[in-house]
Amino acid sequence: MPGSRKSKKKRGQEAAPPVLVARVNEQVALEVYANGKVGTYVDGYAFEIGMISPGSVKRAQGLSEGLPVGSFSPARKPVDREIEALARHLARRGLLEYGLAPPGGDTVVAIEPQIPDYWPQIAKLGNADIVVLSRFAYLRRRGSDLVLESPRSPALFRIADPRIAAALAALTAPQKVSKLRQEKDFVGLALLGLLVDCEILFKAKPKSDGLRPDEGDENLVVWDFHDLLFHTRSTEGRQANLLGGRFPYVGKIAPPPAVRAPWGGTAIDLQGFAGGAASPLAALLRARRSVRDFDEAKPITLAELARFLDAAARVQSKWTTPFDFGDGTVGPDLNYTSRPYPSAGSAYELELYLTVNACEGLARGLYHYDADRHALVPIEARAPELEAQLAAASFAMDTPGLPQILITIAARFNRIAWKYSALAYSLVLKDVGVLLQTLYLAATDVGLGGCAIGTSNIDLFAKMTGQPFHVEGPVGQFALGRGAPEGLGELPAGHR
Ligand SMILES: Cc1cc2nc3c(=O)[nH]c(=O)nc-3n(C[C@H](O)[C@H](O)[C@H](O)COP(=O)(O)O)c2cc1C
């Protein structure tokens, strides 16, 4: 019991190390039957997991209350291997969490994975190591819990003991592990190692102040805290929260109106000014609409794709200008391009990646659009990842078929953050908006159909391209193809 005489610990005397246990999370009921059949109930739905040998049933049942991770991983016996495989399977489905508890005591820290691949690893720390909190780490209240998170971390830490929160607060400055171990409320090497593995703490170099330039490479240095948090929280792949149009306030708040209530002043009627034939631009704007179903019998052709990309995204000119410090001195040369759509500061940080499902004249696969050379460059990506990306797009559009081409708009964050820092991510999203409209109009003009997609999976894209999520990653998507015959609607003359 905290504060009892028994638990009082003298300075410099470490308590017994806490045990790391794995267990199914609160939303899950695990069923392991005597014949070895394993299933789960989540939100009232039953899911089959598979079979284990009858000899492993009792241990597998332990995953309901918590099994020490060290008792089965790394596996020493065949039964350990079976339990580890089951635990990893449950983990990949987001059904497992972990807890740190002193032997025989209550959990002091629970670990909630945020990505399916998370598996707790305790980074090795020696007495000479120096650790410090990442500038991206934060503690906040979630319901009645205190949680420690970071947009860099693949897991979230629920802190049940306030003394641990207080001890972590002391890590805002670099601390030597040997010194920390002397503290009365030392959090333990296991927790420090887990936090280092999750990049919530990082090992600092001797004499370092642990500030921004010391954490990560230059691609990380340019990120501000709020921007990286916004990026990881408004996309899929690196957080466990559910996203999408979930209508969480139905029945609690009245639906806001589609059109704003008019202001009280006398309105000046503009309708009398309309007249004459609609300009080609006005006609194109009116013809544009979202097309979610594509013609399976008639895929888009490579020639159409080339015209579409040329109209919407090709580099039109390039120029270089020296950086001007404003006091008569100049710095490095800065390179710029112009393209058909506007971009904050002419940064043009957005790149187009094409996941091609069906295109006449172009093999299925992932390509980067080289906007300067007006060329498509293939990127080797695994088939299941291509499928997963296309299927997620269909799901977002609530349509049974796959898009013929899925365009992922990815941002080279450092290109824009190097200049704008705190504004950078908001500018990226504004740039995505104008690019999406340009893609819509170019598709309509070429006689194709398309639809913007509001979510993207930043972890999946990182796996497909090998680019870390903070270096270059998805900020928007656009499904493209030849609309299914009934989905094309009326297009004005000249726009078929
Ligand atoms: C930023 C943005 C995100 C969108 N995300 C989705 C999406 O995820 N799924 C979808 O079916 N439509 C999506 N849309 C399309 C809108 O639903 C569509 O533009 C809107 O219903 C108006 O219809 P219209 O485009 O045919 O005029 C998105 C549009 C925008 C601009």
Does the Cβ of 397 fall within 6 Å of ligand 1?
yes
pLDDT tens digits for range 445-477: 999 999 999 999 999 999 999 999 999 999 999
Instruction: Note whether 89 and 175 are same-domain residues.
Output: yes
Distance between Cα 393 and ligand 1 center (Å)? 12
236 occurs within a structural domain: no
| 233 within some domain | no
Residue 49, both tokens:
């997991």
Contact 210, 174 (CB under 8 A): yes
CB-count burial class (<10 Å; 0-12, 13-18, 19+) for 130:
buried
Q: What whole-number distance in Å separates Cα of residue 324 and Cα of residue 329?
A: 6
Tell me, yes or no, whether 323 lies in a domain: yes
475 in contact with ligand 1, CB cutoff 6 A: no
Please indicate whether residue 392, judged by its CB atom, sits closer than 6 Å to ligand 1.
no
Q: How far away, in angstroms, is 480 Cα from ligand 1 center? A: 13
* Predicted local confidence at residue 103, as pLDDT: 86
Q: Atom 17 (ligand 1): residue with closest C-alpha?
A: 290
- Contact present, 19 and 66 (Cβ < 8 Å): no
What's the confidence (pLDDT) of residue 11? 52
Nearest CA to ligand 1 atom 20: 290
Peptide bond into 74 cis (omega under 30): yes
Angle 492-409-483 (CA atoms, 0-180°, nearest 5)? Answer: 35
CA distance 157 to 133: 14
- Let me know if residue 202 belongs to a domain: yes
Cβ density class 238-249: b for 16+ within 10 Å, e for less: bbeeeeeeeeee
Last residue of a domain, one of 200, 217, 234: 217
Cα dist from 494 to 269, 279, 283, 299, 447, whole Å = 32, 12, 10, 21, 9
Residue-wise pLDDT tens digits, 199-228: 999 999 999 999 999 999 999 999 999 999
User: What residues does 335 pair with on adjacent strands?
Assistant: 320
Nearest CA to ligand 1 atom 10: 397
Q: Do 30 and 103 reside in the same domain of the chain?
A: yes
What range defines the domain where residue 41 resides? 19-217
CA of 292 to the centre of ligand 1 (A): 10
* Same domain, yes or no: 298 and 372: yes
**Ligand 1 neighbour 439 (Cβ under 6 A):** no
Cβ(165)–Cβ(146) below 8 Å: yes
Ligand 1: centre distance to CA 18 (Å) = 50
Look at residue 307 and tell me if it is in a domain: yes
**Does position 10 have pLDDT exceeding 80, yes or no?**
no
Task: Please indicate, yes or no, whether residues 432 and 307 belong to a single structural domain of this protein.
Answer: yes
pLDDT digits (tens, 9 = 90+) for 337-357: 999 999 999 999 999 999 999
Nearest CA owner, ligand 1 atom 9: 397
Choosing from 451, 475, 490, 491 the residue with most ligand 1 atoms within 8 A of its CB, the one to mutate for a pocket test is: 451
Ligand 1 within 6 A of 289 CB?
yes
Among 234, 236, 290, which is best to mutate for testing ligand 1, by the most ligand atoms less than 8 A from CB? 290
User: Are 460 and 311 contained in the same domain?
Assistant: yes
State yes or no: pLDDT of 496 exceeds 90: no
Given 165, 197, 217, the domain boundary residue is: 217
List the residue whose alpha carbon is closest to atom 27 of ligand 1.
289
Contact 198, 155 (CB under 8 A): yes
Measured CA to CA, the distance from residue 293 to residue 251 in angstroms comes to 32
Nearest CA to ligand 1 atom 18: 290
Query: Residue 14 domain-assigned?
Result: no
408 contacts 355 by C-beta, under 8 angstroms:
yes
Q: Which atom of ligand 1 is nearest to the CA of 288?
A: 27
pLDDT in tens, 58-106: 999 999 999 999 999 999 999 999 999 999 999 999 999 999 999 888 9
CA–CA separation, 122 vs 386, rounded Å?
33
The residue length of the chain stands at 496
- Identify which of 289, 408, 434, 453 to mutate to test ligand 1's pocket (most ligand atoms within 8 A of the CB): 453
Residue 437 Cα to ligand 1 middle (Å): 11
pLDDT at residue 404 tops 90 = yes
- 436 CB near ligand 1 (under 6 Å): yes
Tell me the CA end-to-end span of the chain in Å, nearest whole number: 76
214 alpha carbon to ligand 1 midpoint, in Å?
Answer: 41
**Structural domains of the chain, count:** 2
Largest Cα span, the chain: 90
Domain annotation covers residue 209: yes
> What ligand 1 atom has the least distance to the C-alpha of 436?
31
The residue contributing the CA closest to ligand 1 atom 30 is 452
Kindly state whether residues 304 and 425 are assigned to the same domain.
Answer: yes
Task: Give the residue among 56, 27, 455, 491 at the shortest CA–CA distance from 289.
Answer: 491
Domain match, 297 and 203 both: no
Q: Give yes or no: residues 358 and 458 share one domain.
A: yes
- What does residue 230 show for φ and ψ, rounded to 5 degrees? -60, -45
Q: Does the structure show a pLDDT above 70 at 495?
A: no
Expressed in angstroms and rounded, the spacing between residue 196 Cα and the centre of ligand 1 is: 40
Residues 440 and 299 occupy one common structural domain:
yes
**Counts for the chain of helices (H) and strands (E), in that order:** 13, 23
Q: What is the DSSP letter of 24?
A: E
pLDDT for res 243: 86
Examine the fold and report which residue of 195, 217, 239 is the final residue of a domain before the chain moves on.
217
Helix (H) or strand (E) holding 432: helix 424-446
**Ligand 1, atom 1, residue with closest C-alpha:** 454
Distance 234 CA to ligand 1 centre (A): 16
SS3 of the chain: helix, strand, coil, percent, to 5: 30, 25, 45
Distance CA 341, CA 311 (A): 10
**Taking a C-beta distance cutoff of 8 angstroms, is the pair 410, 464 a contact?**
no
> What global pTM score does this model have?
0.92
DSSP 8-state secondary structure symbol assigned to residue 78 = H
Query: Measured from the CB, is residue 438 less than 6 Å from ligand 1?
Result: no
pLDDT of residue 486: 72
Q: What DSSP line would sit under 164-186, residue for residue?
A: HHHHHHGGGS-EEHHHHTTSTT-
Has residue 471 been placed in a domain?
Answer: yes
CA of 291 to the centre of ligand 1 (A): 9
Asked whether 292 lines ligand 1 (CB < 6 A), one says yes
Q: Kindly report the CATH number assigned to the domain that includes residue 447.
A: 3.40.109.10
Residues 329 and 456 in one domain: yes
| Distance, CA of 196 to CA of 209 (rounded, Å) | 17
Residues 205 and 303 in one domain: no
Same domain, 353 and 479: yes
Mean pLDDT, rounded, for 2-24: 65
d(CA 155, CA 122): 13
